[in-house]
Amino acid sequence: MGGGGREITMLLEAVRDKNVMQLKKLNAVLFPVRYNDKYYADALASGEFTKLAYYNDICVGSVACRLERKENAICVYIMTLGVLAPYRGLGIGTKLVNHVLELSNKQTISEIYLHVQINNDEAIAFYKKFGFEITETIQNYYTNITPRDCYVLKKHLSSLTHLKK
């Protein structure tokens, strides 16, 4: 206690068996979908690619990824990424995306992709900032929310950068 310091700490931490409930709590309020056990198993299996974001020691956001094998290369699928409403606009989402990008660069990942509901302009604009591009539209991707279509957003990681490193 004490001290007038107003330093705000922002940390990313791993998801484990013991705190997976935190991720579930976030998902319950962030997304209109109930995720199944496979989602959580994939998230735990992706290791460092799945993270909880802590703002002043409070868990306020998360990114959950799944690693996929695609023709001799590994790509990252971002299953969910979200931040609790009161804590948006503080750079936490950016920090989460950057974390995935940096980690992917280090680990020779060929591409990162994700799905966005086609009317979610904010999210689309957000990912475009990081160099994601819309590569296709999937019809009737969602079953119980409208609009039911989604875009696939993709970012290729140039293999050149890997060679340099």
Partner 1 sequence: MTPPLPSKEANLFKVIVKSYETKQYKKGLKAADAILKKFPKHGETLSMKGLTLNCLNRKPEAYDLVVLGLKNDLKSHVCWHVYGLLYRSDRDYREAIKCYRNALRIDPDNIEILRDLSLLQAQMRDLTGFVETRQQLLTLKSNHRMNWIGFAVAQHLNSNCLKAVEILEAYEGTLEEDYPPDNERCEHGEMLLYKTSLLEECGLLERALEELQKKEPKIVDKLAFKEQQVSLLVKLGRLEEGEKIYRSLLFMNPGNYKYYFGLQKCLGLFSENGKYSHDESSKLDDLYKSLMEQLSWSSAAKRISLDFLEGEKFRESADSYVRPLLTKGVPSLFSDLSPLYDLPSKANILEELFLELENSIRTTGGFPQSQQKEPPSTLMWMLFLLSQHFDRRGQIEVALAKIDEAIAHTPTVIDLYSAKGRILKHAGDLPAAAALADEARSMDLADRYLNSECVKRMLQADQVAKGEKTVVLFTKDGDQHNNLHDMQCMWYELASGESYFRQGDLGRALKNFLAVEKHHTDMMEDQFDFHSYCLRKMTLRSYVEMLKFQDRLHSHSYFHKAAAGAIRCYLRLFDFPTKSDAGVDEEMSNLPPSQKKKLKQKQRKKEARAKKEAEVKNEEASNSTVVSKSGKKQPIKPVDADPNGEKLVQIENPLIEGTKYLKLLQKNSSKSIETHLLSFELNMRKQKTLLAFQAVKQMLSLDDNNPDSHRCLIKFFHQVSTFAPPVSDSDKLIQRVLEEERLTLSQLHEKSLVEANQSFLRKNIGSLMHRAAAAEMLYVLDSTKKIEALKLITDSTNNVVQINGALGPIKEWKLKDCITVHELLETVFNDSEASSSWKGRCAEYFPFSTHFGSPLSSATLHSVNYNICNASENGDTNSGEGSRVLQNFSELKI
In the complex with partner 1, the residue whose CB is nearer, 51 or 93, is 93
Residue 159 CA to residue 109 CA, distance in Å, equals 9
Residue 111 CA to residue 13 CA, distance in Å, equals 23
Report the nearest approach of partner 1 to the CB of residue 120 (Å). Answer: 6
Q: Which of 15, 43, 51, 93 binds partner 1 (CB under 8 A)?
A: 93
Residue 71 is a binding residue for partner 1 (CB under 8 A): no
Residue 96's nearest CA partner among 156, 23, 21 is 23
Give the range of 15-23, 43-51, 100-108, 154-162 binding partner 1 by CB under 8 A: 15-23
Tally of helices (H runs) and strands (E runs) in the chain: 5, 7
Residue 84 is a binding residue for partner 1 (CB under 8 A): yes
Report the nearest approach of partner 1 to the CB of residue 164 (Å). Answer: 31
Residue 130's nearest CA partner among 108, 118, 113, 148 is 113
Burial class (CB in 10 A: 0-12, 13-18, 19+), 162: middle
**Catalytic entry in 54, 87, 99, 115:** 115
Residue 100 is a binding residue for partner 1 (CB under 8 A): no
Please count the CA atoms within 13 angstroms of the CA of 84 that sit on its side-chain side.
17
Active site residue ranges: 77, 115
Give me the residues that bind partner 1 (CB under 8 A), please: 1-4, 6, 8, 17-19, 21-22, 25-26, 28-33, 35, 39, 55-60, 78-88, 90, 93, 114-117, 120, 122-123, 126, 141-142, 145, 150
